[in-house]
Structure 1
């Protein structure tokens, strides 16, 4: 199988974000624009979601460039460290104002929800996003159908 060549525009398109989001992610060090890989799609998608988050009582002027906030950097690095080895289809990041919690399965989900019961949080389904990567889609399409009994 031939190796795909990635560009910021292609990464943005696969992530479902504007090319500016991918360029900003590269400028802030979320991805390396000189060496793009397929997993960067998940990081750009996550970055795009994080940049839109505004917590209650937080003021963020829309017309000013915003540097990566500490909790955003923690979240991106948690996702980067987990992809692809610690990611299952049901993996998700519970993102809150002080960082994030990576959870896979019902028990860790409940634990994260209990911990965050009094806080606002955002859930990023990175396992689902990882499963939507082009190589994963192709692998599912090429896999033989299981025989029915």
Structure 2
């Protein structure tokens, strides 16, 4: 069980790094991002502390998501330990792929277009949690 949790933490931190990388690229490429953020923030609050908070809070949040995903992997491995799709647990990987497709579809409907940065995040999510997590968790 501890191996599954540690694998989830590693995968969560890796996903947090990818997410931060894409987020920082979006911030750097949009010159008017501070003006847009300033419209939503309370009066007198600069966007810089908000960005600093996000840089500090995103990796632990993804690590927490990784812990939950590691525990879900443990449950899936105990109930259905069949390998498939290049993973040590077919059901878990299929569930992650379905979840990724669902979130991508919802974002596509909300956003009306999915830029390549969104595809990077969704493909990284599917790869990290769908294949890397079972691989790391199976090293017992």
Flag the structure with more relative contact order, 1 or 2, with Cα contacts below 8 A and sequence separation at least 6.
2
TM-score (norm. length: structure 2):
0.41
- Using structure 1 for the length normalisation, give the TM-score: 0.39
Structure with the bigger percentage of strand = 1
